[in-house]
Chains A and B, each alone.
Chain A
Amino acid sequence: MKKMNEQNPEKDGLSVSKNVSRRDFLNISLKALGGLAAIELGVAGILFLRSRSLAGEFGGVMTIGKIEGFVPGSVVEIEDGNFYLICTEDGGFMAVYRRCPHLGCTVKWMENEQKFLCPCHSATFAKTGDFNNKLVARALDYFPVSFDKGMVKVDTTAPIVREQHLPQHVSYPG
């Protein structure tokens, strides 16, 4: 093919350039445009299929109740908010996400044993949300707690991931 082109550049439809014939040009353009179209379709497909419920999965800022309403040392399950509100002995508040960081089961508060238990793989967590089981390498996630006019508020927009429990995860009123 190439040889023929060299011999008779005009007659077999050779373009101005000596290196790229018209056929080559069309072939290359077709491949490039086809590749581009494939990428566009792929991206469009992924955008189309991308999660549709990321926004608004959690409830935003929730008002839970009066500060005095919670007994120090108690753990209350807030079902609508997907979390447990922990009132520490010294009057601090912490909201831990009830989803086990191991495989996503709902952890249960065991009042008698004073710990959280995940029924799926029997992972256990201390009252602070700290892990005390070999399988799970991090503490329960938590939501920030704030106080406004004597009310406890929890921002449930997105759970905060933490390696282990630290004192600064507990919020104190006032």
Chain B
Amino acid sequence: MSLEFIKPLRERLQHRDGGEEVELPSRDSHVRNNLILHLHPSRVPAQALRFSYTWGLGGISVVLVLLLGLTGLLLMFRYDPRVEYAYVSIQQLETEVMFGSFIRAVHHWSANFLVIASFLHLVRVFLTGSFKQGRSVNWIIGLVLFVIVLAGNFTGYLLPWDQLSYWAITVSTSLMVYIPLLGTAVRNFFLGGPQVGQAALSNFYALHVVFMPALLLGFMAYHLWKVRKNCGISQPLLKEGEKPKFKSTNPYLVNIELAAVMMVLVVVGLYAMFNPAPLGSIANPMVSPNPAKAAWYFLGLQELLLHMHPLAVMIILGLAVVTLAITPWIDRDFRDIGIYFRSAIGKRAAVFGSLLAVYLVPLAVILDEFWYDVPGWLPGVHTNITVGVIPFLITISVFMGIYFLLKSGLLFKNEKTNHSEALLGVFSFMMTGLILLTIVGIYFRGQNMALVLPF
């Protein structure tokens, strides 16, 4: 390699044959390129650069994590994790500290956007089948990262010590009690006692500022490294005799990434300027607010809790997570990798799953509120059966039913969905259902958690 770039500018100007002066790359640009090439290969497939393929969701998530680290560090200088002072220190941050409200708002909204961005990233990866062809480990790491993001959000939720945080954490940790045998011990371990108090605040503070970020950074680094090891992001298989087209990373990929960074900063910054992070009144263990809701991203689960026994909800959630985790082994057909919805028929299966959820989920919610009353119909039967086993079996059979209906080919004339496409239909149903339950939980639940119209 030539060492031209370290020479002074005068000497770096070379004369081309025609007498025109041309500048060799400077030392700066060399260092810059070197840094970029630690993350990226020097050339990337042109296919992989399509923005409408990735929507930049992984990169956006990384930017949000960095933003969270920076604002979180600033907040740590001002926050006091003692129950007597926690709320006061947030109040001071909101009213007295220069830019305090803004920094807190950026932290708050980045965390919320991160939940959305990483969820969409997960959906995108599933829809394009990007967990296939040797990417199974990274798919699981991605799921772990999503759980860490939720856990980071959850542990941060208690810190303001207002009514919102106190009761959201009380409700969520009470859920742990329903874990068979170990429940109470696990809850007491996390809370440092039977109720949310100073011990719980200390625990959550330590978990939020050190444990979760460290875990997140570690897994994130592995996630990114693994993408490199898998020869970049997924893309459709090449046809026989087709040669891949490559473009240089700098500037083609780097420019897209810079644009994404700018966009995230502008959106988060503007949003935070106009929407300060919420702060309720100071935590009061005597009075539960009505309604007492969990953080918005858990409201889909809280909505399920209104209809089923907590243990049934937990088993359904556990089954869903395990099924997602083993998806790369259930669906091993990699011929459709990198293609949204696998195929045209796969797209119809996905639309079918989503529409079915749009139809079934609100209907089920309304029926359960006003008509459905299994405990009343089966007097004398234990509630573990009427609100536990029965709704659980119904839910599972709906999932199985969708799969076998799609697989049977009864739905679309002359065309049978294959295994992979049928799974896609079930996935679409599940995700659309989860989103709908979350929307019901956020907007349609009022006093006493009764169904209300938000307008």
A contact residues vs B (CB 8 Å cutoff): 49-54, 57, 79, 102-106, 108, 117-122, 134-135, 137
Contact = CB atoms under 8 A, between A and B. Distances in A.
B174 A103 contact: yes
B448 A53 contact: no
A120 B292 contact: yes
Contacts of B70: none
A103 B448 CA distance: 14
8 closest A-B pairs by CB: A104-B174, A119-B290, A53-B193, A122-B448, A105-B288, A103-B174, A120-B292, A137-B383
Contact of B194 (A54, A108, A134, A137): A54
A134 B170 contact: no
Given A53-B197, A54-B194, A117 B448 contact: yes
A117 B173 CA distance: 20
Contacts of A121: 305-306, 449
Query: Interface residues of B toward A: which range?
Result: 35 or more
A103 B199 contact: no
Given A57-B194, A104-B174, A105-B171, A52 B289 contact: no
Contact of A120 (B171, B189, B193): B171
Contacts of A117: 448
Interface in B187-205: 188-189, 191-195, 197-199
Contacts, number: 83
B182 to A, nearest CB: 13
A54 B187 CA distance: 12
Nearest to A136: B383
A122 B446 CA distance: 11
6 contacts: A51-B188, A54-B188, A103-B174, A120-B291, A137-B309, A137-B383
A62 B197 CA distance: 21
B450 interface: yes
A51 B288 contact: no
Contacts of A57: 193-195, 197
Contacts of A118: 288
A168 to B, nearest CB: 22
Given A51-B192, A57-B193, A103-B305, A119 B170 contact: no
Contacts of A134: 373-375, 383, 386-387
